[in-house]
Structures are given as structure tokens and as C-alpha cells.
Structure 1
Amino acid sequence: MAERIEMLKTIYGRFDEDKRLTSSRQGQLEYFITMNYVDKYIKSGDKILEIGAGTGRYSIALAKNGYDVTAVELVESNLEVLKKNAKGIMNISAFQGDALNLSIFDDNTFDVTLLFGPMYHLYEEKDRHKALDEAIRVTKPDGVILVAFLSAHAIMMSNYLSGNFKEGFTANFDEDYKVKHFTEQAFTGFDIVEFEGMFEAKPVKYITTVAADSVLEIVERNPDFKMSDDDFKLFLDYQLHICEKREMLGYSCHLLYICRK
């Protein structure tokens, strides 16, 4: 655990996590799509848990909308920003904690559970299942769980088509094209069917899988890229109508798996 915490400190010390969802069209799209689905499944009076809350973009927005929010974040620097940004908001509580151990919470406590960061950084199968099991455990019966994950195939398209494809392939796949997970990846991706398969034996009912950011992570790196506010609004509306289509999932680096306990 100590090694993983140090690695995460290093990763999140490299960039401004607090601005990630606001400073680019890709981040804005990911935020809007994700919040659209959170809003779809929450109702007045719900208690919400966000595990891996980062600097609190989702948790604080939900608290401002009147929900009772509990935020758990492992990286201390992120948690400090979260607490600073949440100052004065009475209906949000923030704790330092690990997705692998939510023992501070009783079974069946939350109506909606958001597991938005941890699956990017869990490399061992037992740890991934532990995080999912803990999220399910603390969720009330009939509660909804939204889990964010990365597509390994989209990572290849967005990061490794500039003369470094061999490097990316070696980092993400074995010789039989099976996705690899290991600490040195920093961010680990999944085959979408592989990810969905982790839930098959768990006490949840599948709702949907959602493409959260489409191809924007790729195209926004083009120096000629531009998108007006009007075009972005139209593109967002378009994505909201197609983001559950299976053919759209492989384009998107960021995805959401949604299920009901």
C-alpha cells in the first residue's frame, strides 16, 4: 500500500488535477457526461459517497446541489485542495482513505456510490475486486454504483501513434494481445468486456456502459483544433444521445460502468 500511495503522490504531483475537468474540451465533456448520469440516478434526500474524489469536482458540485456527500481521497495533496474548495459547505464530509478499505462505513449506508479514480491505479486482480466489493458493500440495496475506468485500446490510439507504438504495445499488451496490468503503467486500462466481466458474480444488476469523452482526447492535441461554445454544446448533446452505443465505447479513453445493487 505504501508503494502505491507514493506512486500516486508522484503522478498527481505532475499536473493540476483540480483543473483537469475544466481546462480542456475533453475534460469538460467527461465532466458533463458523467454528471448527466449521476443526476439521472440520484434523487432528493440521497446520501452519496465518492471514492477517489480527487480535488472534489464532483463531490462539491453535488453538495452545492443539496445532496449529503461523503468524499474519500487517498492522495493527501488532492484532499487538501478538496477541503479548501469545500470550505463553508455544510453537507459535505471529506476523509483520507483507500478504496480497498472502507471499514469506517457500515454496510448499506449510501444511496449512490461513485468509484471514479481508484480503478485507474489498481494493478492486481485481487485489489480491483476488493475495491468493487467495498463499493458494493457500503451501498444500500437498490442503490446505484457508477465506476470509472480507462480503455486500454483507446489509450493506444491516443498516446502511441506518434512513432512509439511498440513502446505502447509492450506496456499494455502481452504477445497474445491480452491487456496487462502492472504498477509501472501508472494508469492501467482495460478491455471493455474484461472490465464488465468483473461484475458477473457480484450482487449487482448491470445498467449500462458509457463513453465519457469520445475522441476528444485524441483530436484536441491537434494544434489546429478549435471548437466554439456553440459547437461544443451541440457536440455534447450529440454525445449524450450516442454515448451508450457499443460502437462508441472503443473511441473513448474514459468510460463509466453503471449497475444497481
Structure 2
Amino acid sequence: MIDHSLLARHYESFSEGPRLQKSRVRRLEYDTTLHVLDRHLSPRSAVLELGAGHGAYSFRLARQGHRVTATDLVDVNVEAMLALAQEEGLDSVDIRRADATHLDGITDGAYDAVLCLGPFYHLRTRQLRRRCLLECRRVVRDGGMVAVSYINRVFAVNYLLRKGSPLTADQYASLMQPDDERVDYPDEFFNVAHFSTQEAVEAELRAAGLEIVEHAGTDGACGFFPETLEGLDEAAYLDYRDYHLTTCSQPSQRGASSHCLVVARKI
């Protein structure tokens, strides 16, 4: 089961839009995700985003001319998107509350693309992740795109060590399981997230009837040296970003990246 109260408490602590711009590492994740999506989205596509947060991606895609439906399970995020859409006059974005594992009311094949940039890594059992992927496949047209983000388990463990918060032996063992619903980790995010590997995620997508098209590490190895990235001036950051965009789909970048993105096609 999804613990809605834990998710709500986590997302009430920050704003998703500013999160993606408040640091160079998060900005790189945002820039790279859009770069990869742009390669696979046709102009004026009908796009459904699940777990849209505060709408950072949905609103950007709407401004590019796509027809976007932005959904989230957490009420505070839906309310934030409604307020921002009104503030910016973006009435072209259809904003709804929705559970990514039960897309009731959405007809089969209704969208050209489905973005699952958050929900997948909050679903902590294989059954729930499969249900989400099957719903994504159901509501996208034949040959349409499904894009799924996940968090690299290797990076997550090393992040805790860097913070000085090692896990216990049984916590390390639990973290490696495809079904992990513990809530006693030393970092709150670990109690609401699922961490995975490149191979496991691709296998889950294929099992749901999706063909892998591209697999990228969206923030790359710079998560291990964020202070260095923050110290760059804007021109140097852009040079590094352009280098990263040309290498982000290499296996080595995926292996070092905190956030990864898989673009798949319905078959």
C-alpha cells in the first residue's frame, strides 16, 4: 500500500519547482530530462504527467505547445499547480488529482506520451510498480512513449554514507529487495522511496509490454561533487551541461547518476 500521509508530509516540506532550480545538480537533472524528452516527443503531443508535483515539467511542456494533463496524488501539489496555472494564465493545462496505479476515467490510448517522473520510485512493491506501468501502457496510444524516472540504489546508499548515516546490516539487506516497505531508515526519503538498478527497471518495463528506447542518467556523476558544480560560473556550467547531454545515455553515466530516466515505447 502507498502511505499517503508519509508522502504528503514529505512533499509539504518543499516546493518541487524550486527544488529543480535551487542547485546546479537539480538544474542539471531538469535540463537533461527535458533534453531527452524533447528528442522523443512529437510537436503538439497529448501528454499525461503522473506525479507532476508543482508542475515544473508539465507547465514547461505546455508552454512548448503540447496538450498536457498534469496529475498528482498529493493534495498540496494539486493545489499548488492550480494556483500557479491561474497566476500564469495557463488554462491549457488540465490539472487533476490521480493515483498512478488506478487511472480511473482515462480511456485506453488517450495520450501520445505518459510521463511517470515521480510515482514509480515511490511505489515500494513490484505489484504496485507493475500496476502503474500497465496503466501507463493502457492509456498511451500504440507506439506511444512512456517515460519513467527512478533513483539509482548505488547512489542512494553512498549519499547516506556521505551524510554520515550508514545503514544497519538488515537495512542494507532490505534496500536490495524489490519489495521493501520498511519505515525505520535514518533518512525520511528512504521511508517513502524505492531504489533500483538499471537492469531491474528495464526488466520491469519490458515485463509490462514496453520496449526500451533510451536510458539516461539525468544528473550524472556530479552528485558526488556538488560543491564543485556549484562553484562554476554560468558559462562553465553550460559547457559542462552540454558535455553531459552528449554522454548522459552512456552506461557509465547511468551507473553514477542519482536520478535516471528510461524512455520506452508501447508495443
- On whether the aligned pair clears a TM of 0.5, the verdict is yes
1:182-261 correspondence runs (5 A) = 182-184=181-183, 185-220=191-226, 222=227, 225-261=230-266
Give the gaps of 5 or more residues in structure 2.
Answer: 184-190
The secondary structure found in structure 1 opposite 2:112 is: strand
Q: Any conservation in 1 of the 2:217–2:253 contact (CA below 8 Å)?
A: yes
Aligned to 2:105: 104
| Aligned AA (1:4) | D
Q: Deviations over 1:144-202 (max 9, x none)?
A: 111000011111122223443334x6434349x65662252222210221111112333
* Residue 25 of structure 2 is aligned to residue 26 of structure 1: yes
Aligned to 1:155: 156
**1:93/1:8 CA distance change after superposition, 3 Å:** same
Percent identical across equivalent pairs?
A: 26
Q: Any conservation in 2 of the 1:51–1:73 contact (CA below 8 Å)?
A: yes
**Richer in helix (by share):** 2
The secondary structure found in structure 2 opposite 1:149 is: strand
Q: Any conservation in 1 of the 2:24–2:230 contact (CA below 8 Å)?
A: no
Give the alignment's TM-score, normalised by structure 1. 0.92
Return the alpha-carbon distance in structure 2 between the equivalents of residues 144 and 259 of structure 1.
6
* Greater Cα shift, 145-154 or 7-16: 7-16
**1:43/1:10 CA distance change after superposition, 3 Å:** same
**1:181/1:148 CA distance change after superposition, 3 Å:** same
**1:105/1:157 CA distance change after superposition, 3 Å:** same
* Residue 171 of structure 2 is aligned to residue 171 of structure 1: yes
Give the drift of 1:225: 4.9
**1:183/1:73 CA distance change after superposition, 3 Å:** farther
**1:178/1:130 CA distance change after superposition, 3 Å:** closer
Aligned to 1:132: 133
**1:70/1:64 CA distance change after superposition, 3 Å:** same
**1:44/1:223 CA distance change after superposition, 3 Å:** closer
The secondary structure found in structure 2 opposite 1:78 is: helix
1:33-182 correspondence runs (5 A) = 33-87=32-86, 88-167=89-168, 170-174=170-174, 178=177, 181-182=180-181
Q: Deviations over 1:50-92 (max 9, x none)?
A: 0000000000011111111001101111111111111221321
The secondary structure found in structure 1 opposite 2:256 is: coil
Q: Any conservation in 2 of the 1:219–1:225 contact (CA below 8 Å)?
A: no
Aligned to 2:9: 10
| Aligned AA (1:141) | D
The secondary structure found in structure 2 opposite 1:200 is: helix
Aligned length: 257
Return the alpha-carbon distance in structure 2 between the equivalents of residues 209 and 55 of structure 1.
25
The secondary structure found in structure 2 opposite 1:215 is: helix
The secondary structure found in structure 1 opposite 2:220 is: coil
The secondary structure found in structure 1 opposite 2:77 is: helix
Q: Any conservation in 2 of the 1:26–1:217 contact (CA below 8 Å)?
A: yes
Give the aligned CA root-mean-square deviation in angstroms: 2.0
| Aligned AA (2:210) | V
| Aligned AA (2:15) | D
Q: Any conservation in 2 of the 1:145–1:258 contact (CA below 8 Å)?
A: yes
**1:219/1:99 CA distance change after superposition, 3 Å:** same
Give the gaps of 5 or more residues in structure 1.
Answer: none
Return the alpha-carbon distance in structure 2 between the equivalents of residues 77 and 162 of structure 1.
29
**1:241/1:124 CA distance change after superposition, 3 Å:** same
The secondary structure found in structure 1 opposite 2:257 is: coil
Return the alpha-carbon distance in structure 2 between the equivalents of residues 225 and 144 of structure 1.
34
The secondary structure found in structure 2 opposite 1:86 is: helix
